Structure 1
Amino acid sequence: MKLKALFASACLMVVGASAQAAEVELTLSHWVPATHMLQAGGMEPWAKSINEASGGRINITIYPASQLGAAPDHYDMARDGIVDIGFINPGYQPGRFPILAAGEIPFLISDAKSGSRALDEWYRQYSAKEMSDVYVCMVHVHDPGTLHGTKGPIQVPADLKGKNIRPAHATMARLVSSLGAASVQVPAGEMRELISKGAADMTASPWNSIYTFGLQDVTKHHLDMPFYVTTFAFVMNKAKIDGLEPQDRKVIDDHCTSEWAEKMASKWADAEAAGRQKMIDAGGHTFYKPTPDEVNLWKQATASLEGEWAAAATKAGIDAKSAWASLAETLKKYDANVK
């Protein structure tokens, strides 16, 4: 009987060991500084929550500041398994992700927190269509940004004519070109060098990123108006995620939600919004606040972008009219639409 008990105990130990998932090490690569609030206030709490929810089985190591590759390459890096998780700005690859580009259209999303939740919820209908070769964990946006320049005025669309402008993404690149400006597109981390060398007169950016990327002493003129947002996504290597043990896959799925998209954006949004007051307090900056009529000039200047998006989205194989209506409805549901 004693021998049988020992044998039974040994069998239970083997079953228990086989049922327990192996430790999982994941790499998360991004291209903003390690000090950026997106890492401290978003990525790190997210990675910690995943580690805790998995009982310590899943560990995520974060590689900031383009250590593993250039900003525009992060989608392909995740797709090809160079990294397990890539943080991407889809607008850095013009025309590649035309459906998600809806979120780039100015005067559409009013708030980064609820707007991220809404955009993520909406995009889940379409992500498998244009990002089928990765696992799309979540999408989100930054706090509404605007234009910042080395000289003014920046008050109405006509003030952009003849300028060299660094746009935030492909949609804004088309906009500035339509207004008679030249688009000089580089990732956010290269803004400082671009402008300090005189290769660009203006850049599109949320407020505090001017400080994050060191432009506060070269961009002293600001369009004082919530203008646009930029879409972002966390995408994962499909084979890596599909190969997880069921309990670990559930942990990942539970952290790839619209609720987490809002959490990821929230502290960053607060930090960006605070940048405007920081500039006011610092002094030496000129803020150009458009009148209601001048705001309408900006809205008229951007009016064609919805039609351009619809044409590209239709070409991508979706019902653009239905998709746009769905996006508008979802933004309204979360009170994230521009009134």
Structure 2
Amino acid sequence: MFRNRTFAATVAAFALLTGSALAQDDQVELRFAHWVPPQHPLQVHGMTEWVESVEEASGGSINVTIYPGQQLGQAKDHYDMARDGISDISFINPGYQPGRFPIIGAGELPFLISNARGGSAALDAWYRQYAEQEMSDVKVCLVHFHSPGTFHSREPIKVPGDVDGMNVRPAHATMASFVSLLGGQNAQVSAPEARDALERGVADAITFPWNSILIFGIDKAVSHHLDIPLYATTFAWVMNKAKYEGMSENQKKVIDDHCTSEWAERVAAGWADNEDSGRQKIMEMDGHNIIEPSEEDVAAWREAAAPLREEWKKNVAGVVDDPQAALDGLVSELESRDSAY
């Protein structure tokens, strides 16, 4: 009984000391910038949960304000915004700046992942060995995927040859290369600008995950959907280094505890479930054509996409010691989490 009382008193004293330490930390205000709508599931689920957990773990000494929908800057500028202190944390799509972040581009390769939950944890665990090398201007908090996306178009796309002559809004640099390989032209616009590009005829098709078609209103501009898990997009949450270094040790630990592979999966999970639900919603909508490829069609798509892996290895040659080993490492991480294609 005495031991139990002593242990309880020790725990209580430790909690009191820890709480006091947190309470003594100076208040830190963080501006979290992103470019998707505030109703997007990534904010509603992942970002909100992350912010609330950070604030609670810091004892209220860290306050995070989310700035959605490009309020602080254009989507393509969010990395530099975090670097320059315009935002303190930014949600970025590395593929919006082709060629700048070639290593993480491995995650963009077609026919790589099967789901964004385990896939996000795998990508994060793999990329940590390269993050400081490739994104040294910022503190990389975590990286993750969205659920696999596909072609959505104004005219049917069933086989690779159908892309020939089309103008396509690609999700990122790798899909842009794929469109070029297939004989298409790229219409480079960010996700918030995509519907307008399609409605004005600047683009004939888009590569996008399923429910984002509905979130961004793109279902009003396209009616044909290729039913194949073709590709995924990588994302990163990056933080201004000076802001992080200016925090107390307790506050840094709170941030570090929320910048993990486990959190990468948690913030991606709600979005992944939401995206996957979009496929069924679109199937049930009038005026929309779901194109189911045959086994031969899928084989043709895989064959058409094969050169992209060689292109990625060429792009990172001299940046990573052994490109094939690096790619094998990512696949191994995906397989260990049951998320490889």
Using the TM superposition, give the Cα deviation of residue 125 of structure 1 relative to its aligned residue in structure 2, in angstroms.
0.7
Using the TM superposition, give the Cα deviation of residue 220 of structure 1 relative to its aligned residue in structure 2, in angstroms.
0.4
Indicate which of 300, 305, 329 corresponds to 1:302. Answer: 305
Using the TM superposition, give the Cα deviation of residue 216 of structure 1 relative to its aligned residue in structure 2, in angstroms.
1.1
Question: Residues 18 and 292 of structure 1: is their aligned pair in 2 closer, same or farther, counting only changes over 3 Å?
Answer: closer
2:56 counterpart residue number: 52
- Conserved in 1, the CA contact under 8 Å of 2:143 and 2:235? yes
TM-score scaled by length of structure 1: 0.93
CA deviations on 1:69-106 (whole Å, 9 max, x unpaired) are 00000000000111100100000000000000000000
2:188 counterpart residue number: 185
Indicate which of 278, 282, 297 corresponds to 2:281. Answer: 278
- Conserved in 1, the CA contact under 8 Å of 2:22 and 2:58? no
Q: Which runs of 5+ in 1 are unaligned?
A: 1-15
CA deviations on 1:223-253 (whole Å, 9 max, x unpaired) are 1111100000000001111121000000000
Matched, 1:111 2:115: yes
SS at match of 1:180: coil
2:261 counterpart residue number: 258
Looking at structure 2, the residues matched to 165 and 18 of structure 1 have their Cα atoms a distance apart, in angstroms, of: 51
Looking at structure 2, the residues matched to 29 and 71 of structure 1 have their Cα atoms a distance apart, in angstroms, of: 9
RMSD: 1.2
CA deviations on 1:152-192 (whole Å, 9 max, x unpaired) are 2x110000000000000000001101110001111100111
Looking at structure 2, the residues matched to 18 and 320 of structure 1 have their Cα atoms a distance apart, in angstroms, of: 44
Using the TM superposition, give the Cα deviation of residue 315 of structure 1 relative to its aligned residue in structure 2, in angstroms.
3.1
- Conserved in 1, the CA contact under 8 Å of 2:55 and 2:63? yes
2:179 counterpart residue number: 176
Looking at structure 2, the residues matched to 207 and 252 of structure 1 have their Cα atoms a distance apart, in angstroms, of: 32
Using the TM superposition, give the Cα deviation of residue 285 of structure 1 relative to its aligned residue in structure 2, in angstroms.
0.7
Looking at structure 1, the residues matched to 122 and 261 of structure 2 have their Cα atoms a distance apart, in angstroms, of: 7
Looking at structure 2, the residues matched to 19 and 191 of structure 1 have their Cα atoms a distance apart, in angstroms, of: 46
Using the TM superposition, give the Cα deviation of residue 117 of structure 1 relative to its aligned residue in structure 2, in angstroms.
0.3
Using the TM superposition, give the Cα deviation of residue 18 of structure 1 relative to its aligned residue in structure 2, in angstroms.
11
Matched letter for residue 251 of structure 1: V
Indicate which of 100, 103, 121 corresponds to 1:96. Answer: 100
2:244 counterpart residue number: 241
SS at match of 1:98: coil
Looking at structure 1, the residues matched to 171 and 203 of structure 2 have their Cα atoms a distance apart, in angstroms, of: 13
Looking at structure 1, the residues matched to 83 and 277 of structure 2 have their Cα atoms a distance apart, in angstroms, of: 35
2:8 counterpart residue number: none
1:223 counterpart residue number: 226
Looking at structure 1, the residues matched to 183 and 87 of structure 2 have their Cα atoms a distance apart, in angstroms, of: 39
Using the TM superposition, give the Cα deviation of residue 279 of structure 1 relative to its aligned residue in structure 2, in angstroms.
1.1
Using the TM superposition, give the Cα deviation of residue 287 of structure 1 relative to its aligned residue in structure 2, in angstroms.
1.1
> Any residues of structure 2 matched to 1:136-155 within 5 Å, and which?
136-152=140-156, 154-155=157-158
Q: Which runs of 5+ in 2 are unaligned?
A: 1-19
Looking at structure 2, the residues matched to 178 and 325 of structure 1 have their Cα atoms a distance apart, in angstroms, of: 24
Using the TM superposition, give the Cα deviation of residue 311 of structure 1 relative to its aligned residue in structure 2, in angstroms.
1.2
Matched letter for residue 262 of structure 2: E
Indicate which of 304, 312, 317 corresponds to 1:314. Answer: 317
1:127 counterpart residue number: 131
Looking at structure 2, the residues matched to 307 and 78 of structure 1 have their Cα atoms a distance apart, in angstroms, of: 32
- Identity between Structure 1 and Structure 2 (%): 55
CA deviations on 1:1-38 (whole Å, 9 max, x unpaired) are xxxxxxxxxxxxxxx78982101100000000011000
SS at match of 2:290: strand
TM-score scaled by length of structure 2: 0.93
SS at match of 1:208: helix
CA deviations on 1:132-165 (whole Å, 9 max, x unpaired) are 110000000001100000122x110000000000
Indicate which of 36, 41, 49 corresponds to 2:40. Answer: 36
2:3 counterpart residue number: none
Looking at structure 2, the residues matched to 269 and 318 of structure 1 have their Cα atoms a distance apart, in angstroms, of: 33
Matched, 1:289 2:318: no
Looking at structure 1, the residues matched to 237 and 307 of structure 2 have their Cα atoms a distance apart, in angstroms, of: 29
1:10 counterpart residue number: none
